[in-house]
Structure 1
Amino acid sequence: MGESSGYKDYIAGVLAGVATVVVGHPFDTVKVKLQKHNTEASGLKYKNGLHCAARVLKTEGVQGLYRGATSSFLGMAFESSLVFGIYSQTKQFLQGGEQSGKPQPYAIIPSAAFGGAVISFILCPTELVKCRMQVQGTDSLVACPSRYSGPLDCALKTVKAEGLTGIFRGGSATLMRESLGNATFFLVYEHVRHHMHLRLKDASISRTHLTDVGIGILSGGLGGIACWCVVLPLDVAKTIIQTTQDRNSTRNPFQILTSIYRSSGLRGCYAGLGPTVIRAFPANAAAIVSWEFAVKMLGIRRD
């Protein structure tokens, strides 16, 4: 990263967040449903992500795949703005103005983890609302005592029934997921981007807008896949903690994962892996391409 441009880093992040939701939310809905229902001892079971998506489309149409997207748009725009802005500026500070061009893990990892930790406090309530909206779809065979007419209704009913702390259910799982996940994502993204630019330079291929987009797609997509392969079990635990109807159930993600492992094995801990990995590439590629485009348009210097 070259010179940071203050607020511009945060503006660029907003565009990345919007692109992520547009491309990735339908996959996320399928992932959440698989995590909720395929880890339960009884009730609705989906054969795979395709079966889940087909059932949602049959019972609710395309809008069913975008259920809970309103809170996602708001949450992701704000979250992405913060994570990209904090990452950019913290990384520049830790590097002390050094612009060697080579990725520096000592700056990338803490910068990304710090950004992830900060946004987890915003993500937790918005994802709780999103997940509860997603699992109440008409394809659910599990009785739902509270039907939510919209994100605000869901948030208000949650606070009324569980208190203010209820809206932050799954906070510790979200914090760990975001810190570890963002560190993994940016580390892979920066290294893939750097080495691809070196290959182009060695091959004497001139940089064009098209090659930059291609590098953004590959580096962002691979970063997203690496991130979710590392943190998906924490995400499974978070989904269960946030969507359970039992208010007295544990909020410890490791206890949840231990229970899942005993009943469903490693496969249960990675419930939703298919749609998550399929989503991770295009959603994160779209985020990086949008971010890099905004960075260029806003005149932010990069190495």
Structure 2
Amino acid sequence: MEWLDIAKDLNAGTIGGVAGIVAGHPLDTVKVQLQTSREASAGVLRTLRRVVGSEGTAGLYRGLLSPILSNAPINAAVFGVQGQVHFIAGSSAGLVQVVFAAPSEHVKIQLQTGAMGREHSSLVAGRTILRRYGARTLFKGWQVCLLRDVPAFGAYFCGYEATKRALTEGKSENETDLKLMMAGGIAGMLSWIVSMPQDVVKSCVQSQSLQGDQQTMTQMARSRMQQEGPGFFFKGFSATMLRAFPVSAVTFLVYEKTMQFMS
């Protein structure tokens, strides 16, 4: 693979990733609040109304900067790798990008759940966690993040290529914006289906107070399973699926269009 091709994948992946983040962050906030809530009756619309009612639409974008800053290198890495071998490369990229994803998502979730009070700045929150509690706390939840992202990214890129090939009969001249968006949306939903339980546990681990005793991922999974039953592992599923399709549809469409533009 030539350096020019790598640069194209990196740039297209970054642009597509940021577009997807902005498009899906409001539903990501709803998803995180549903996953970390102990209310059995909380639903997507109820949570959405509660956030908007208490903080306005700005509340839906709490923590937005954190994933933008981290997912630029994350998406650049995974899109740059996936261009060659899809499932194995995607899984490998999922392994590597945890270095960026774990601290970024910890900061994002702390802000989305209000665990840091009235703080709204991702940069300030990240510095505060690092300065007061150290790098170990900043990277809290990296183990379950790893367990989520390795299969998720493998399914993501393998699912996209398989669906795109089926929709276009493997011919580039048959590619349309709608088909690319369909392939991306289906791939996004597939990746979340295989990683949903891990994501719920990760959200709960990373939303814990920074002070006092904290549960590990196994302790969290065991205690919440005992309290809420197997349904705990699929909390926020509706919000996740509602978010997954448009986010991934936008991400892959922008990626493909950027690649075409640079070619």
Establish whether TM, by shorter chain, passes 0.5: yes
Cα separation, 1, equivalents of 2:159 and 2:60: 29
Deviations 1:157-195 (A, max 9, x none): 212332111100000111121111000111111111111
Shift of 1:156: 2.0
RMSD of aligned residue pairs (Cα, Å): 2.2
Deviations 1:171-221 (A, max 9, x none): 01111211110001111111111111118x7xxxx946xx52111111110
Deviations 1:237-284 (A, max 9, x none): 111111111554233x34422322221122111111111000000000
Residue 180 of structure 1 pairs with residue 151 of structure 2: yes
**Partner SS for 2:107:** helix
> Mean alpha-carbon deviation: is it higher for 123-132 or for 158-167?
158-167
Decide whether aligned partners of structure 1 residues 179 and 247 sit closer, same or farther in structure 2, where only a CA change above 3 A counts. farther
Equivalent residue number for residue 35 of structure 2: 35
**Partner SS for 1:6:** helix
The 8 Å contact of residues 113 and 180 in structure 1, kept in 2 or not, is answered as: yes
Cα separation, 1, equivalents of 2:86 and 2:202: 26
Equivalent residue number for residue 295 of structure 1: 259
Asked which structure has the greater CA Rg, the reply is: 1
Letter in 2 for 1:266: P
Decide whether aligned partners of structure 1 residues 273 and 10 sit closer, same or farther in structure 2, where only a CA change above 3 A counts. same
Tell me which protein shows more helix as a share of its residues. 2
Equivalent residue number for residue 77 of structure 2: 82
Equivalent residue number for residue 59 of structure 2: 64
Q: Which runs of structure 2 are paired with 1:247-262 in the superposition (5 Å)?
A: 247-251=212-216, 253-262=217-226
Cα separation, 2, equivalents of 1:133 and 1:235: 17
Equivalent residue number for residue 25 of structure 1: 25
The number of aligned residues is 262
Shift of 1:60: 1.1
The 8 Å contact of residues 174 and 238 in structure 1, kept in 2 or not, is answered as: yes
The 8 Å contact of residues 110 and 116 in structure 2, kept in 1 or not, is answered as: no
Residue 285 of structure 1 pairs with residue 249 of structure 2: yes
Residue 119 of structure 1 pairs with residue 91 of structure 2: no
**Partner SS for 2:194:** helix
Cα separation, 2, equivalents of 1:271 and 1:49: 11
Equivalent residue number for residue 97 of structure 1: none
Cα separation, 2, equivalents of 1:56 and 1:145: 16
Cα separation, 2, equivalents of 1:216 and 1:145: 39
Decide whether aligned partners of structure 1 residues 294 and 145 sit closer, same or farther in structure 2, where only a CA change above 3 A counts. closer
Cα separation, 2, equivalents of 1:59 and 1:250: 29
**Partner SS for 2:97:** helix
The 8 Å contact of residues 233 and 257 in structure 1, kept in 2 or not, is answered as: no
> Mean alpha-carbon deviation: is it higher for 179-188 or for 156-165?
156-165
Q: Which runs of structure 2 are paired with 1:147-296 in the superposition (5 Å)?
A: 147-198=118-169, 207=173, 211-245=175-209, 247-251=212-216, 253-296=217-260
Cα separation, 1, equivalents of 2:112 and 2:125: 11
Letter in 2 for 1:148: E
Shift of 1:77: 1.8
> Mean alpha-carbon deviation: is it higher for 44-53 or for 175-184?
44-53
Decide whether aligned partners of structure 1 residues 150 and 244 sit closer, same or farther in structure 2, where only a CA change above 3 A counts. same
TM-score scaled by length of structure 2: 0.92
Letter in 2 for 1:217: M
The 8 Å contact of residues 62 and 120 in structure 2, kept in 1 or not, is answered as: no
Residue 131 of structure 1 pairs with residue 109 of structure 2: yes
**Partner SS for 1:148:** coil
Residue 48 of structure 1 pairs with residue 26 of structure 2: no
Using the aligned pairs only, state the percent identity: 29
Shift of 1:108: 1.9
Cα separation, 2, equivalents of 1:241 and 1:157: 18
Shift of 1:2: 11
Q: Which runs of structure 2 are paired with 1:89-108 in the superposition (5 Å)?
A: 91=84, 107-108=85-86
The 8 Å contact of residues 116 and 182 in structure 1, kept in 2 or not, is answered as: yes
Shift of 1:3: 10
Shift of 1:147: 4.1
